[in-house]
Amino acid sequence: MDEFFHIAAGWRIRPTTPEDYRAIVRVFLDCMPDFPWRNSPRQELMGMENALLSCESYVATEEDAGIVGFIIVDHIF
């Protein structure tokens, strides 16, 4: 997938790079309080790291804010 963008809205969606990991972790941990049924942050981070290494993933970025979201796609058939 190539990069998707919306010039007027100021966001872009692009494939994840290894340099994105810290920002992905920040977004993930910022959202954890909104999902109280999840496991501990440490357990969830381990699962997310495994998924990032083995699945297709993308980040949503905004020019001034950097990475504001991500998605991990697991193609199980």
Q: Which residues, 6 or more positions from 76, have their beta carbon under 8 angstroms from its beta carbon?
A: none
Report the phi/psi class of residue 17: left, alpha or beta, with left for phi > 0 and alpha for psi in -120 to 50. beta
Span 5-62, pLDDT tens digits: 666 677 899 999 999 999 999 999 999 989 888 888 889 999 999 999 999 999 999 9
Q: Does the pLDDT value for residue 70 go beyond 80?
A: yes
What pTM did the predictor assign? 0.80
Q: Does the pLDDT value for residue 4 go beyond 80?
A: no
**pLDDT reported for residue 2:** 60
Q: Interior CA angle at 63 toward 61 and 65, to 5°? A: 70
